[in-house]
Structure 1
Amino acid sequence: MKISILDTTLRDGEQTSGVSFSDSEKLTIAKLLLEELKVDRIEVASARVSEGEFQGAYKILQWAKSNDCLDRVEILGFVDGKASIDWIMDAGGTVINLLCKGSLKHCRQQLKKSPKTHLSDIEKVIEYAKSCGITVNIYLEDWSNGMRDSREYVDQMVAALHKIGVNRIMLPDTLGVLNYEESFSFCQQMLQKFPDCEFDFHAHNDYDLATANVYAAIKAGITGIHTTVNGLGERAGNVPLSSVIGVVKDHFHFDMNIDEKKLYTVSKMIESFSGVRIPANKPLIGEFVFTQTSGIHADGDNKDNLYHNDLKPERFGRKRTYALGKMSGKANIKKNLDALGMELDPESMKKVTEKIIELGDKKETVTKEDLPYIVADILKSEEIKQNIKIKNYSLSVAEGLKSVATLSIEIKGQIYEETASGDGQYDAFMNALLKIYKKLNKSYPALIDYAVSIPPGGKTDAFVETIITWDHGYQFKTRGLDSDQTVAAIKATIKMLNIIENKK
């Protein structure tokens, strides 16, 4: 069996609160959906909404016409005589998805019409559409509640519409109220009663059941599914295209035209255009979904990929990663070192593992890009006997005032404290330290160079490596590593003090 996709990101997805695509963004998204992802059809606008909506639809339809895919671009229209049809024709469209009432309650209370009158009005629109060469699909709005409360009305509508000769009948769970048992039963009933009809299923996610309901609809025999990229849509959104791909490909093993390798790229582009962030744990497209955090999982992957499933990241243009942090084991670290082309002996690996666990308590994740800095800090720093230790320090900074540092330091078992101000927190720390060293008549090197670097692409919480060059009759360097720049510099300074103390 083959499942076809109508993606409605540009129509239903744009009904997400705060989302409005520009004309150029709409055209770009249409091209991405049809050319890159290769969805079967797209719904791009609602007729008669605004001039901006018209211009966006017009640009897409002109492009579609020149690229021989005009029949794959659809527009939502209304039972409003000739108005929606004329709007669609002026925009250059050839397919209308006509919004009709799928429940008796909507028909009587919203339209204030009898089913017979509503059906008569629909027939007039369809007749006019056909005379204009427009293909008609039907949305049965609130169909899910219609199946619950007014099944006879639904049957009457579908029978009449099928007799008229509409192309597709779309079955929307408009308010996202169905569960998977109802979705299966209602779709199965439609298919059994109207075996010659072509049905689409349109799921909303108000109860977080949209994907389960799509699964049930496909199991019942529905072959057309409506989606949005990233699950955009009104209220809780529509079923995400990414979730449907996983269900269709891996649970049913049915065919689709979708190029799943392009999924992540398109999802990130639409995230940028919409301003709606993809949740980090969103299946297939979230930041964390192909990241193993637990060390035991990485160990299992080293032993015949024990923690892999069929959702291989390479299918979606992504890579599996292994998080570094307090949950890391040697297996996680080895995976990341392998990716960097680095190899450590067992003792060095033990030290690096301990350091990553320690640092992992200070920040959410340690990135692969942080790893060379950590290795360098462990392996390139001398093993220094700690004759001098910082017991405590306090740093403060305030607008318009000098920074202040209070330092408590232990030198060969004796505690010394001082407070000093300076031009910045590190300068204040150094001034407090110098006060202590002057009282003790201890020599102190000159700071020659101070270099700070973070991993490429590092964020605000990235590890900072500070390398300070000192002159004490000879030049030498010390390095410090921390997520805080000042703390990294202080660590480098304490290493310097102990090097000098040990040489004495």
Structure 2
Amino acid sequence: MKRKIEIMDTTLRDGEQTSGVSFSVSEKLTLAKLLLEELKVDRIEVASARVSDGELQAVQQITSWATAHNYINNVEVLTFVDKGVSIKWMQDAGAKVQNLLTKGSLNHLTHQLKKTPEQHFKEIKETILLAQNHQIETNVYLEDWSNGMRNSKAYVYQFLDFLSHQPIKRVLLPDTLGVLTHTETFTYISELVKKYPNLHFDFHGHNDYDLSVANVMEAIKAGCHGLHLTINGMGERAGNAPMASVVAVINDFLPDVEIDLKETSLYKVSRLVSTFTGFGIPANKPIVGENVFTQTAGIHADGDSKKNLYFNDLLPERFGRKRQYALGKTSGKANILKNLQELGLTLNDDDLGKVTQRIIELGDKKEKVTKEDLPYIISDVLDSDSYQDKVIVKSYVLTHSKGLKPSTTVAVEIENELFEENAQGDGQYDAFMNAITKIFKAKNIKLPKLIDYAVRIPPGSNSDALCETIITWQNGENEFKTRGLDSDQTVSAIKATEKMLNII
């Protein structure tokens, strides 16, 4: 029998401590549903008690939904030893599980609370019993536990001796400052599991030394029963142990344990969290980064065509993704052939060589080349009429005045026929898109959905710098990107949109 590991997601609580991040009430509810129903995590920590009215409203909505769908015991709230104030907040919020924050190191207890262990334990006991009287289940956080094990182990054991006789469900072991090495993690948790076989231990890792995933692996090997993770590794300072990486590591390297989490939903949830928070996902972040399933070197693309020589067990399909082949100065013919196949295009060897050379030249100039650029490059290199633009944005007027809604009048030539339309919007580009949509709706053509809009200006540039706008579009099940370059941000977006109109 495999050992079951509980996954507790704390994106909505600890992850929200990421600098500059705050979820709205509706965003918290949406993510709570997604985490429990779509991703299938076992538990979610959704808030800290007493923080704000908005936090209370969010938890009330989550607990209302969770109660109706039998998830109420999977929703947890961070609480404090505060003479029942947090318990009252929990009652008002409708929550049934508290994660009680206590001091896991003598250093914190002595210098922050200025209390003796006996005083602290007495207040904790009163809080646990009060919660029990109100049908609220208790888990206990030992804040700064990792330093407690390093510097005041006798205190930690005294604390756990006390907790082992209390009506609690779990003991939560945070590496609060992210200071543990993997060897320490294994040693400390092994000791606790052996000494307290009847206690359930969760490990809560932080990533200050970039060791959180390694520490999670060792915590599981040492016998811990649950893990605290966040989407995209969000959290204070360097963040928490990242959900996607940990799930992949467990499934691929720890055959004796099992988790219920659904791998194929990781990327979807990751992108939604990034959208809600504005907290970008690094392109090279394992599992969920834009580049991690992209082969850049031509020799790798060639190897993939010859018995998948450059594949590992992290197949993109596991995570609802697809392998891609980048186009740039390190591209070989194999990369370009892979992209041509996706577009349904073929070239003879001589023409393929010419196109390859042009892509290498563009890469040397640091220009970004996408699969959707290939028809234009082919047309340019081969002096062909096969890929002439069928849609041309002939002219436009963009207006933006204080107190008035932005508006656009645009003239578009579609296969030599001119169309003109005007519209308002929430911004100049939105007004432009609304006008374009009117034109194509009249022709019974549905435009793709804009799902990402990225603007880049070279670091250290002045206000007259060239601005690159890269827009990601979704057309049915397919996604593609177009790029525009101009000194005006809106104009660069319009150029990227013109490319999209020709592609569809």
TM value normalised by structure 1: 0.76
Counterpart residue number, 2:119: 117
Stretch of structure 1 that moved more, 341-350 or 315-324? 341-350
Other-structure match for 2:153: 151
Mapped partners of 1:177, 1:27: distance in 2: 33
1:472-495 C-alpha deviation (Å, 9 max, x unpaired): xxxxxxxxxx98689xxxxxxxxx
How big is the shift at 1:332? 0.5
Structure 2 residue aligned with 1:89: 91
Matching residue's letter, 2:247? I
**How far apart are 1:223 and its partner, in Å?**
2.5
Tell me the distance in 1 between the aligned counterparts of 2:214 and 2:264.
24
Q: Deviations over 1:262-309 (max 9, x none)?
A: 111111111011111111100000011110000111111111111111
Give the AA of the match of 2:214. Answer: A
Contact 1:3 1:248 in 2 (8 A): no
Offset at 1:121? 0.6
What residue identity is the alignment partner of 2:173?
Answer: L
Q: Which residue in the other structure is 1:296 paired with?
A: 299
Q: Could you tell me how far apart the structure 1 residues matched to 2:260 and 2:253 are? A: 17
Q: Which residue of 2 aligns with 1:320?
A: 323
CA spacing shift, 1:462–1:377, aligned 2, 3 Å: farther
Matched, 1:244 2:246: yes
Deviations 1:125-155 (A, max 9, x none): 1111111111100000000000001111101
Check 1:357–1:173 CA distance in 2 against 1; reply closer, same or farther (3 A cut). Answer: same
Cα contact 1:48–1:84 (8 A) shared by 2 = yes
Q: Distance in 1 between matches of 2:308 and 2:334?
A: 12
How many residue pairs align between the two structures? 395
Partner of 1:21: 23
2:33 corresponds to:
31
Does the 8 A contact of 2:171 with 2:201 survive in 1?
Answer: yes
Say yes or no: does 1:275 pair with 2:281. Answer: no
Task: Report deviation, 1:224.
Answer: 0.4
Distance 1:118 1:485 in 2: 63
Alignment of 1:376-455 (within 5 A): 376-381=379-384
Q: 2:334 aligns with which of 331, 334, 351?
A: 331
Asked if residue 206 in structure 1 is aligned to residue 208 in structure 2, the reply is yes
Matched, 1:72 2:74: yes
Of residues 350, 359, 375 in structure 2, which corresponds to 1:347? 350
Amino acid of the structure 2 residue aligned with 1:207: Y
1:219-258 equivalent positions in 2, closer than 5 A: 219-253=221-255, 254-258=257-261
In the alignment, the residues of structure 1 paired with residue 136 and residue 218 of structure 2 have an alpha-carbon distance, to the nearest angstrom, of: 32
Matched letter for residue 122 of structure 2: S
**Cα distance in 2 between the residues matched to 1:221 and 1:188:** 6
- Tell me the distance in 2 between the aligned counterparts of 1:80 and 1:483: 56
Secondary structure in 2 matching 1:164: coil
Q: Find the residue that maps to 2:4 and give its secondary structure.
A: coil
Paired letter, 1:340? L
* Long gaps (5+) in structure 1: 383-455, 464-481, 487-504
2:357 is matched by which residue type in structure 1?
E
The answer to whether the Cα contact below 8 Å between 2:128 and 2:167 also exists between their aligned partners in 1 is: no
Deviation string 1:107-130 (CA, Å, 9 cap, x unpaired) is 111111100110011000111111
Shift of residue 233, structure 1, vs aligned partner: 0.7
Distance across 2 between alignment mates of 1:178 and 1:364: 42
> 1:348 offset after TM fit, Å?
1.2
CA distance in 2, matches of 1:248, 1:361: 40
1:138-183 per-residue CA deviation (whole Å, 9 max, x = no partner) reads 0000000000011111011112111113100000000111111111
1:361 is displaced (CA, Å) by: 1.6
Separation in structure 1 between the aligned mates of residue 486 and residue 274 of structure 2, nearest angstrom: 32
| Match in the other structure for 2:396 | none
Once the 2 structures are TM-superposed, how far is the Cα of residue 364 of structure 1 from its aligned partner? Answer: 4.4
Cα separation, partners in 2 of 1:364 and 1:197, compared to 1, 3 Å = farther
Tell me how far apart the structure 2 counterparts of residues 165 and 37 of structure 1 sit (CA, whole Å): 30
2:14 aligned residue: 12
CA distance in 2, matches of 1:462, 1:345: 33
The aligned counterpart of 2:134 is 132
Trace 1:483-502 onto structure 2 (pairs within 5 A). Answer: none
- SS of the residue corresponding to residue 77 of structure 2 reads strand
352 and 6 in structure 1: CA distance in 2 versus 1, 3 angstrom threshold: same
CA distance in 2, matches of 1:299, 1:196: 55
- Percent of aligned pairs with the same amino acid: 58
How far apart, in 2, do the equivalents of 1:355 and 1:21 lie?
46
Cα distance in 1 for partners of 2:90, 2:183 equals 37
Q: Does structure 1 conserve the Cα–Cα contact (< 8 Å) formed by 2:229 and 2:242? A: yes
The match for 1:495 is none
How many Å separate the matches in 1 of 2:253 and 2:365? 41
Q: How far did 1:375 drift?
A: 1.6
**Aligned equivalent of 2:60:** 58
Match of 1:362 in 2: 365
Once residues 98 and 128 of structure 1 are traced to their aligned partners in structure 2, the CA distance between those partners, rounded to angstroms, is 12
Which residue is 1:371 aligned to? 374
Could you list the per-position Cα deviations for residues 14-63 of structure 1 after superposition, in whole angstroms to 9, with x for gaps in the alignment?
Answer: 11111111111111111111111111100001111121111111111111
Secondary structure of residue in 2 paired with 1:98: strand
Aligned match of 1:182: 184
Kindly state the Cα deviation for residue 196 of structure 1 after the two structures are TM-superposed: 1.3
CA apart distance, 1:75: 0.3
Q: Determine helix, strand or coil for the equivalent of 1:163.
A: coil
CA contact (8 A) 1:76 1:98 kept: yes
CA distance in 1, matches of 2:337, 2:486: 27
Equivalent of 1:101 in 100, 103, 112? 103
Q: Separation in 2 of the partners of 1:483 and 1:102?
A: 54
- Closer, same or farther in 2 for the Cα pair 1:241/1:186, shift >3 Å? same
